[in-house]
A and B are shown apart, each in its own frame.
Chain A
Amino acid sequence: MIPLRLAAFTGFCYTAPMTLWILPLLGEADSWEQAEAVLQQAGHAMLLLQGLAVMLLSPLFPVRGSPRQATLAVVLTIAVPWPLLALTWLVQSFALAPLLLSQLALVTAGVLFLNIARLPLLRPFRSTLVPVLQILALVLLLKLHFLGFTDWLRG
């Protein structure tokens, strides 16, 4: 499977359940405060899922495709839930500038991981390196999440 297809399906796998979870809750909300709270929770969860997807997949992309395809695959993994994130901005759960910065940070981190895995120097150790990178990224992401790094997204 080409990296882009893998990225699209991964994005679908975490965006579709989130959509099915959020929209009925929004239907029950009869005030802006309730809708804002729902979308804020959803936005936090979505950022965590985006981070997990990109950290787990990006070291694998170089193995499966060209550098250009791998970079676009990172972008696509992150881009699939953008309509839902646009909704969090419209309802003012998140401010626009921090939201854009978070997406940029995720793309940068994904491309960085991708290129570390591609380094010729580390090629002989790839079978060990990829799981180590994935575990390190996962720990870093969870650490940032529990430190409340998404709180600044509210602006």
Chain B
Amino acid sequence: MNPGAPYLSRFLSLLAAWILLLMPPGVQALPGVHIGFQPAWEGRYLSGKATEVEVRILSGTGGPFQLILHSSAGEVFYQGTLEANKPYTAWLPLLPNPDEPVIATLFLDDKEIARRKIWFSPGSKPLTVLVQPVSRSPSPSTVSVPAQRLPRTIDGYRSVGSLTLSMDSLVQLDREQLEALRNYVGDCGNLWLAASSRVLSNQLKAIAGCGGTRIKILGQHHVAYTAPASASLPVPLASPTDHVLKPLMVLMFLYLLSLLLVASTRNKAGAMIAVPLLGTAGLLAFWLWQGNPAKLSIWAEMGSGSHSIRYRALLQIEGLGIENQRQVRLSRRLGIPDAKGNPPIITIEAHQPDMASLVVPVRPFSRPEYHFRGSFSAPFRLRLDLNADGPKVVNLGSLRTPAGFFTWKKHFFRVPALAPGQDWRPSPDTAVESAGPWAAKITERSGNSGTALVLPLSLPDTKLVPPDSGLDTVDGWLLIRPSADST
């Protein structure tokens, strides 16, 4: 096999992408409509991950438009309104398929006016990103971009293995770029700071995940990094899959029992014939009544005193009803999920840029799953101290914390809601047998010290799910470790 073949194919696909970008926009679009796409990281991304594309539209006529970014791995629908002769720019997440280009179709007033192919270069290694003016000898996985090209969605960072940028670049970033970068470092992304001050790096470490160990200053000596226990987060517990079956079993059991009873005790033909008819009607009614319940489970972790929480979320839809799709509204901070079963279909509306709708095709007995990951700002500040007197939990924030569980020396304790400034220590009278279905996971994730605080996460705390999400159940837990375990 020719060792240069991957580089040649990458070069050719990049060349094709540039030719498409440089082509006069009128080639495939109506006269007066210019549309251009600028993929993040020059079109390079980690195969199977989401990425981002910058879309620029200039039209001689205004009106509502819809842009569809389609690949067999997923679809993104974007709806907005164009103003005549005014450039429109949007940064959209998308999920390319490694074997094909993404097809972008623009509709203006419900008429298709342009169709383009966007080429991406899939890779098998995470990207090393250098934000100019920082430079280094190029390698196949190194990308050098100016600060203004840094992503504005969290999906833009899915392929990034490490990011190197200077103080000058950092101050050039706009609000959306900073938010995306914050999510990246909050989820333990590697960040190298060039010519940075210790004050700045300490500020960044405070909002970073993994106790800030993934943020380093370029040129300083660093001990080889070893991943702490908190570096990888577990997927939330899946809901039991037999809850569909139990009602069905009960229904069938009752039906067969009533058939036996009626056949044994009654001689009337009408009564005997009525049993199967009622049984069939009952099963159909059960199916119509069920719907397609959607459940979001969130498992989140943070270090004591940290400002950032890392999470993994699992969205499960149970295909029980007769509807063939289910729609849920989620925050765009969740990004494009990894899907098991069905490619995700995302709808984003320009007038609600922070929200996205996920449309899930559902069939009976199908159980589509969507996995999300990222980080969010801690709604409350709790410090977990381990000292000679035993552990102590202190509420340093301005909000009352919810009641939860505390694990220490393989025992569970019930922690009451803590008012601002209040502290709490475990005592025998607060000990409980177990922390419910999450007990095993809490023990597993409590780190070397075996000490952790676990609190229920409510919807407003996470800011990941709007009140009108359409979800049937949301189940979230936050585990807080002592600082020593986080680093």
Interfacial residues, chain A to chain B (CB-CB below 8 A) = 2, 4-5, 7-9, 11-12, 15-16, 19, 23-24, 26-27, 29-32, 34-36, 68-69, 72, 75-76, 79-80, 82-84, 86-87, 90-92
Complex formed: what's the CA distance from A23 to B242 in Å? 10
Q: Hey, which chain B residues are within 8 Å of A84, CB to CB?
A: 252
Pick the contact of A8 from B255, B263, B280, B366 — CB < 8 Å?
B263
- In the complex where A27-B242, A80-B276 touch, is A12 in contact with B263 (Cβ < 8 A)? yes
Q: B284 and A86: CB pair below 8 A? A: yes
B53 vs chain A, min Cβ distance (A): 31
Q: Hey, which chain B residues are within 8 Å of A76, CB to CB?
A: 272-273, 276
Q: A86 and B273: CB pair below 8 A? A: no
Q: A12 and B256: CB pair below 8 A? A: yes
Main secondary structure of the interface of A (DSSP, over half): helix
- In the complex where A9-B263, A19-B256 touch, is A83 in contact with B367 (Cβ < 8 A)? no
Interface string of B254-279 (1 = CB under 8 A from A): 01100110111001010011011101
Complex formed: what's the CA distance from A13 to B322 in Å? 30
Q: Hey, which chain B residues are within 8 Å of A26, CB to CB?
A: 244-245, 248, 365
Complex formed: what's the CA distance from A23 to B260 in Å? 20
Tell yes or no: B117 within 8 A of A by CB. no
Q: Which 9 A-B pairs have the closest CB atoms?
A: A35-B365, A8-B263, A32-B363, A32-B366, A79-B276, A27-B245, A82-B280, A83-B279, A83-B283
Complex formed: what's the CA distance from A26 to B277 in Å? 23
B333 vs chain A, min Cβ distance (A): 29
Of all chain A residues, the one with the shortest Cβ separation from B278 is A83
- In the complex where A19-B252, A26-B245, A90-B287 touch, is A2 in contact with B365 (Cβ < 8 A)? no
Q: Hey, which chain A residues are within 8 Å of B263, CB to CB?
A: 4-5, 8-9, 12
Complex formed: what's the CA distance from A23 to B275 in Å? 20
Q: Hey, which chain A residues are within 8 Å of B139, CB to CB?
A: none
Pick the contact of A32 from B242, B245, B319 — CB < 8 Å?
B319
Of all chain A residues, the one with the shortest Cβ separation from B321 is A90
Q: B260 and A12: CB pair below 8 A? A: yes
Complex formed: what's the CA distance from A100 to B18 in Å? 59
Q: A15 and B280: CB pair below 8 A? A: no
Q: Hey, which chain A residues are within 8 Å of B249, CB to CB?
A: 23
Of the A-B pairs whose beta carbons lie under 8 Å apart in the complex, a sample of 19, sorted by A's number, is A4-B263, A5-B264, A7-B272, A8-B275, A12-B259, A16-B256, A26-B245, A26-B365, A31-B365, A32-B319, A32-B366, A36-B365, A68-B269, A69-B269, A72-B273, A76-B272, A82-B277, A83-B280, A90-B322
Q: Hey, which chain A residues are within 8 Å of B467, CB to CB?
A: none
Q: Hey, which chain A residues are within 8 Å of B282, CB to CB?
A: 83
B225 vs chain A, min Cβ distance (A): 38
- In the complex where A4-B269, A86-B280 touch, is A92 in contact with B241 (Cβ < 8 A)? no
A120 vs chain B, min Cβ distance (A): 25
Q: B364 and A90: CB pair below 8 A? A: yes
Q: Hey, which chain B residues are within 8 Å of A11, CB to CB?
A: 259, 276
- In the complex where A12-B263, A72-B269 touch, is A79 in contact with B365 (Cβ < 8 A)? no
Q: Hey, which chain B residues are within 8 Å of A9, CB to CB?
A: 260, 263
Of all chain B residues, the one with the shortest Cβ separation from A72 is B269
Pick the contact of B365 from A7, A24, A32, A82 — CB < 8 Å?
A32
Interface string of B345-371 (1 = CB under 8 A from A): 000000000000000000111110000
Complex formed: what's the CA distance from A24 to B252 in Å? 13
Q: Hey, which chain B residues are within 8 Å of A75, CB to CB?
A: 273
Complex formed: what's the CA distance from A36 to B260 in Å? 29
Apart from A8-B262, A83-B252, A91-B364, what 18 extra A-B contacts exist at CB < 8 Å?
A: A8-B260, A12-B263, A27-B245, A29-B365, A31-B365, A32-B364, A35-B364, A36-B365, A76-B273, A76-B276, A79-B277, A80-B276, A83-B255, A86-B280, A86-B284, A90-B287, A90-B322, A91-B365
